[in-house]
Chains A and B, each alone.
Chain A
């Protein structure tokens, strides 16, 4: 096989109760960008963690240049030139860029006692120059953007003179320009004969960057193709193993439906300036805009998660001063955060405990004793309604996949039965099958007369699900698009203020 660098064969890996990898193979050529795709829980990350020595494999063989390669730990993989950049970057925010790159391999002055910071900074600068990125080696990493932090990780990888670089969802948090810059660097690495494994959920971008693509599904290998031989639709079909059913929402007809939430001249810091809007019962209202447009900040202020300085919030005709999430919830607003692990779930607690958390008072008797049976009945009902896949409701939430975790958050708020539900990036990090289920649920909830607000940075998602779209840019509302005019270009125009 021409230029084969890595070959993994018959890889198996089990965790308690789950077979994460089942007879998987993977092959990587020198100097190629190889996309690895699959739904969440398909086993991509596990396979890469086996390759980088994070997890020991149960069975199977890994070859490098035709020789069997024993990987017992991260060190072995590093020595073989295999480096991974995780989605959650492994940088120390309080150290400088240069210190991060050379951590554990610091340059010393003669005598081996003192650190040679000048040399360290010079070496780091050389790496950044090579990558053609503008980063000061002495700046603290915490002050850099995510995109630049990524470049620091890449520079670190280059300093190890890697042969294989694995990037887990590197573009998830980047803007279009930053993605372009990242791809430029990836192409440069490729031209040097290095290989890159690119794990991504954004299938559209793969055509630009990848040479070949390997698809995984349910812990098994599906196929490997040249990228020019497949379309996005075909990739999706391979990933989910079934036809994709595209949710089309019902038109929202009742323009006279009661206004459930009205916001007037809301101000909260730089990110929320003079925001006013109305949302009706039964409506799905989208909030579009670029990352950092102030949409999350607006909703957090309305939910009482952050304080607002001025403005009026009117819920079902009644002006309410929202001082805390507790007040918001009591007035019928629920907020599903974009970062469910940090803000949505108690990961160490079980599914039942999480589902009941926002509505504990309806599960206690007059003596304050929790009726666990009642709580379990409700959780069981939610589990069936939302199709949460788990062997038991006593399972800890941290053991669930992203899609199932999102369903637990949703179940929590459905238990509380609020009239207004704010979904902040509801399908981030969720696989396509689960995405459709979430869309379907949003439609059902709207049909029941609830008000749904969706913040999403994925325009197709907004276009597909919303009845009306409000567009924000730099903390202000710059446009409103009704059903008839919902269109990618119009929204992008408002989002970048071209039409404002």
Chain B
């Protein structure tokens, strides 16, 4: 317990866990059906796409950068995957992998633009956002790409895992991605260098580390996970919707930030990101159950975001004194 309280990131984690419990408790009291098994599964299912995007975006954020292209890269990669399957007649699994590859490639191009062309991350990924948004519409001819020819495509996300009722495959995908991200972040060079670059990029470079290479890998990872999110998304809809995508990046970054990842880099955690994503989806779910209009839901999530960062900053100011 003592060691948990000692580190600032850990104490932020404690705060958001409490916040999550508070939100969950509040809605459970307000509406008993909120805490039911089926609603919990609904919340988890609703966390999947945003959670995977948020996990991806956490890595650039912890380097002190940002990736605002994840929403449209997600769309673009599943549009490409769908095109490969329906138009080019590729095997479905190859097409899915191709979708991941497209996502990773978009991310790698982001990384290249940032490191070799010296574009600020915000600008580079904004350009990628606009490029992929446009390309999705062009490639698809502004029409949804349907996966109906594949009998099981929809089952990839919405099938029930081991036949457990309500326990969708998408949730398993989220859990697997989260565990992989956790291992990458906490136990591999990728995670260590992500932190080091965020803490002091120049000192990292002068330690003999190829910072450019690692940043390209980090942005490629963010793009790759956008591709995975694209699979989940298109599987749930049984189609790639080329006009979707914008707005998803905001929610993903919000989840990462609520989870305690500092936008100035150098600190953050994968567990935090997941809790951040869970807070957003349980909040929106609860508000929906209480029949709060959609427009107001967004405003409330915004308030929670501001509050979460405020708590973190207040603590930082206090520690600095």
Contact = CB atoms under 8 A, between A and B. Distances in A.
A357 B188 contact: no
B200 interface: yes
B76 to A, nearest CB: 29
Nearest to B267: A348
Nearest to B207: A358
Contact of B196 (A337, A349, A364): A349
Contacts of B187: 369-370, 372
A370 B206 contact: no
Contacts of B195: 346, 349, 353
Contacts of A330: 208
Contacts of B196: 346, 349, 353, 357
Interface string A344-367: 111111000100011011001000
Contacts of B188: 364, 368-370
A344 B203 CA distance: 5
Interface in B143-199: 183, 187-189, 192-193, 195-196, 198-199
A214 to B, nearest CB: 26
A357 B204 contact: yes
Interface stretch (A239-247, A321-329, A447-455): A321-329
B206 A345 contact: no
A207 to B, nearest CB: 37
B192 A360 contact: yes
A102 interface: no
Contacts of B208: 325-326, 328-330, 358, 416
B266 A349 contact: yes
A360 B188 CA distance: 9
A357 B208 CA distance: 9
A337 B205 CA distance: 12
Contacts of A412: 207
B307 to A, nearest CB: 24
B116 interface: no
Nearest to A371: B187
A325 B189 contact: no
Contact of B203 (A328, A329, A345, A364): A345
A328 B267 CA distance: 29
Residue from A353, A357, A364, A412 having most chain B Cβ neighbours under 10 A:
A357
A346 B62 CA distance: 13
B206 A335 contact: yes
A346 B203 contact: yes
Nearest to A416: B208
B202 A342 contact: yes
B210 interface: yes
B321 A343 contact: no
A435 B181 CA distance: 43
B201 to A, nearest CB: 9
A325 B207 contact: yes
A455 to B, nearest CB: 15
B209 interface: yes
Contact of B200 (A329, A346, A369): A346
Nearest to A55: B321
A329 B183 contact: no
B193 to A, nearest CB: 8
Nearest to A370: B187
Residue from B183, B205, B206 having most chain A Cβ neighbours under 10 A:
B206
A495 B277 CA distance: 61
Contacts of A344: 203, 206
A305 interface: yes
Nearest to A336: B206
B7 to A, nearest CB: 8
A305 B201 CA distance: 13
A412 B192 CA distance: 15
Residue from B189, B196, B208, B210 having most chain A Cβ neighbours under 10 A:
B208
Contacts of A360: 189, 192-193, 209
A325 B267 CA distance: 25
Contact of A368 (B189, B207, B267): B189
Nearest to B266: A348
B157 to A, nearest CB: 29
Interface in B287-321: 321
A353 B204 CA distance: 11
A325 B198 CA distance: 18
A360 B196 CA distance: 12
A329 B189 contact: no
A398 to B, nearest CB: 10
Contact of B266 (A55, A324, A326, A346): A346
B210 A324 contact: yes
Given A344-B203, A346-B199, A349-B266, A357 B209 contact: yes
B195 to A, nearest CB: 6
A369 B266 CA distance: 20
Contact of A370 (B192, B198, B209, B321): B192
A329 B267 CA distance: 27
Contacts of A335: 206
B50 to A, nearest CB: 28
Contact of B209 (A326, A347, A364): A326
A305 B209 CA distance: 11
Given A360-B189, A364-B188, A368-B189, A325 B200 contact: no
A348 B321 contact: no
Nearest to A333: B208
A302 B192 CA distance: 27
A348 B207 contact: no
A370 B188 CA distance: 5
Interface string A161-190: 000000000000000000000000000000
A412 B203 CA distance: 12
B260 to A, nearest CB: 14
A367 to B, nearest CB: 9
Residue from B189, B195, B200 having most chain A Cβ neighbours under 10 A:
B200
B77 to A, nearest CB: 25
Contacts of B202: 342-343
A363 B208 CA distance: 15
A343 B192 CA distance: 18
Given A325-B209, A360-B189, 5 more contacts: A325-B205, A326-B209, A346-B195, A361-B189, A364-B189
Q: Which 7 A-B pairs have the closest CB atoms?
A: A329-B208, A346-B199, A358-B207, A348-B199, A348-B266, A346-B200, A326-B208
25 contacts: A55-B321, A325-B206, A325-B207, A325-B208, A325-B209, A326-B210, A329-B208, A330-B208, A342-B200, A345-B200, A347-B199, A347-B200, A348-B199, A349-B195, A349-B196, A353-B195, A353-B196, A357-B196, A357-B204, A357-B207, A358-B207, A358-B208, A364-B189, A370-B189, A412-B207
